[in-house]
Amino acid sequence: MQTTSPKKWVLLSWTVSAALVLPVLALLMQSFSADTVLFEHLWATVLTDYVINTLMLVALVLFFSAIFALPSAWLIAMCDFRWRKKFQWLLMLPLAMPAYVVAYIYTDLLDFSGPVQRLLRSVFQANTPIGEYWFFEVRNIYGASIMLALVLYPYLYLIARTAFLEQGAHLFQVSRTLGKSSWQSFRLVSLPLCRPAIIMGLIFIGAEALGDFATVHYFAVNTLTTAVYDSWLGHGSLSAAAKISMLMLVGVVGLLAIERWQRGRQRFYHKTSGQINRFKLNKLHSTIAVSWCVLLLLAGFIVPAMVLVDYAIHYFASGWSEQLWQVLFQSIWLALIAAVITTIFAIIFIYTARLSTTRSARLPLRASTTSYILPSTVLAIAVLIPMTMFEVGVNDWLVSLGYQAPGLFLSGTVFALIFAFVVRFQAVANGTIESSFLNISPSLDIASKTLGKTNLQTLFLVHIPLLKKGIFTALLLVFIECMKELPAALLLRPFNFDTLATYVYQFVSDEQLEQAAIAAILIILAGLYPVIRLTQTGNVTHD
């Protein structure tokens, strides 16, 4: 009986993982390079303001996300009120909405010439010129943070809701019998027990806010992300962009380190009591709960979606163009290639870990997922560094042999974009494929080997047929994430090449979202699938 040695699978897994981790290592090396002229100039002039703005933005986004998510999660998990079951998945819908689209729509609605202020002037102060009455300003750091929080809070909402469900209502009820009020029981019992989950959700939201470019750029808020774009696209300094990216990476690692340090040796244990006995809210409290959920849903999804549909109807002739079809086709084949590659890599990582229980076999799987927490902007710069270094070396070598230099044959093509998508979303494919592999009994592997099948034959004849649903889900989730990705696409796309996300953003930056409303709706429709998957996953375990 011949079998493929697991050592070959481990070697293959390590090779693929090394390629995916290489950009981060290259970023670290490039950040210590001697080319510091532009970075020193930025540090002496505006970089301090950029750092302060970034810290303020992240802090505000975390604050507003917690305000939106935690009360909603607790109400849905622990209380019984009208339309609760519908709200538990409806509150996830804002996750499909691009933040920069929401930012444009609310700016258009709330500006001086927008319908809201026009209505107020017609009711209270007709023909009042601008500046002679107070109205809050939308296009500032506070407005940007609210826009980001409106589309990012579902991450925390989903995690917190699951954590509240797992602890059950019995601990809360015990607290009430000890004389604590509802607010005291929520603050002293429910929140501390959910703290690890809440912190991880906030860290993920903070990383997303840290890497956002489109929203902060549209609101003219200068952050480290805009500094990265200006350094590379404006000044052509990859070294300065790498140094600023390292500052952002240190920020993400710092968030994780602070959480670990603050938690220390604390451990959180609680046992679910089985059937959840939710609190039946009275009429007043039920009305408040429903109103809160409706307001969140209106602000985060319904109002922007209605405005986009109105744009699409009124500007259908100009929006439904040949250029849109070309951009859609480009986005589809680009995302499809990245999805196939990430799924293949995920199967390699997880099958290797299944064949060998050693730490060296599982380490590539864990290492390949580390890039998912990185902001897309940082990852894009990290991808550029090894590519440009390789291209310079090849060009110099060919010129020394008397041949014409091929130029930017990697970083100037869609290869850079595909590679960035693979590195960025490998964790998505890994998680989906791994959960599917766990449902396959090891006895099937043993039976296959007793029949003389090699490890490779076992994979294709036994596992792949059983993994069809998981493979399809992984392909679809990565495909959709690639369709929505903007920061990396803006930095890495070749000249005269657009994805749906960059196509929509170009119109947003030109104050012409109406012309790209159909493309924006396509992005939202694509983003609804993972939202539905998330809600279905949560509802399987918890009602």
Token duo for residue 508: 């947003």
Angle between helices 47-78 and 283-297 (to 10 degrees): 140
Q: Regarding beta strands 279-280 and 79-80, do their DSSP bridges make them parallel or antiparallel, or are they unpaired?
A: parallel
Q: Which residues pair with 336 in a beta bridge?
A: none
Residues 105/119/296/375 CA torsion (nearest 10 deg)? 30
Domain ranges of the chain: 1-32+335-499, 35-123+136-264+271-300
3-state secondary structure of 279: strand
Question: Is-contact 482 334, C-beta < 8 A?
Answer: yes
Which CATH number describes the domain made up of 1-32+335-499? Answer: 1.10.3720.10
Of the candidates 492, 241, 206, 211, the one whose C-alpha atom is nearest the C-alpha of residue 502 is 492
> What is the pLDDT at residue 339?
92
> What is the pLDDT at residue 56?
94
For CA atoms 69, 71, 77, 82, the dihedral sign is negative
Residue with tokens 């819908």: 93
The backbone torsions φ and ψ at residue 312, rounded to the nearest 5 degrees and listed phi first, read -65, -35
Question: Is-contact 268 193, C-beta < 8 A?
Answer: yes
CA 78 to chain centroid, in Å, comes to 28
CA–CA distance, 98 with 214 (Å, rounded to integer): 10
135 Cβ contact list (under 8 Å, min separation 6): 110, 112, 117, 120
Burial class (CB within 10 angstroms; exposed 0-12, middle 13-18, buried 19+) of 323? exposed
3-state secondary structure of 280: strand
Alpha-helix residue ranges (DSSP H) falling in 264-358 = 283-297, 303-314, 316-319, 322-355
CA–CA distance, 217 with 206 (Å, rounded to integer): 17
Of the candidates 27, 59, 417, 26, the one whose C-alpha atom is nearest the C-alpha of residue 244 is 27
CA–CA distance, 66 with 270 (Å, rounded to integer): 23
Residue with tokens 């532009």: 38
Q: 430 to each of 337, 433, 436, how far by Cα in Å?
A: 16, 5, 10
Question: Is-contact 327 499, C-beta < 8 A?
Answer: yes
> What is the pLDDT at residue 451?
84
H helix and E strand count, the chain: 28, 2
For domain 35-123+136-264+271-300, give its CATH number from 3.10.129.10, 1.10.3720.10, 3.40.50.150, 3.30.70.890: 1.10.3720.10
Q: Which residues pair with 280 in a beta bridge?
A: 80
pTM strictly above 0.85: no
3-state secondary structure of 178: coil
> What is the pLDDT at residue 121?
73
Token duo for residue 396: 């110099």
CA–CA distance, 195 with 349 (Å, rounded to integer): 31
CA–CA distance, 432 with 473 (Å, rounded to integer): 7
> What is the pLDDT at residue 244?
85
Same fold, 1-32+335-499 and 35-123+136-264+271-300: yes
- b/e map 238-249, b = 16+ CB within 10 Å: bbbbbbbbbbbb
CA 318 to chain centroid, in Å, comes to 31
pLDDT tens per residue, the chain (543 residues)? 344 457 888 889 999 999 999 988 888 888 777 667 777 878 878 888 989 999 999 999 999 999 999 989 888 887 888 888 888 888 888 888 888 899 999 988 888 777 877 777 777 765 655 556 666 788 889 999 999 999 999 888 888 887 777 665 566 666 667 666 666 666 677 777 777 778 878 888 888 888 888 899 889 899 988 888 888 777 777 788 888 888 887 877 777 676 666 565 555 555 554 455 667 778 888 888 899 999 999 999 999 999 999 999 988 888 788 888 999 899 999 999 999 999 999 999 999 988 887 888 888 888 888 777 777 888 888 898 889 889 889 998 988 888 888 888 888 889 999 999 999 888 888 888 887 887 788 888 888 888 888 888 888 888 888 888 888 888 888 888 888 888 889 888 888 888 898 999 988 888 888 888 898 998 888 878 777 766 665 544 445
Token duo for residue 243: 């140094």
CA–CA distance, 284 with 385 (Å, rounded to integer): 59
CA–CA distance, 153 with 56 (Å, rounded to integer): 17
DSSP character for 320?
S
Question: Is-contact 172 185, C-beta < 8 A?
Answer: yes
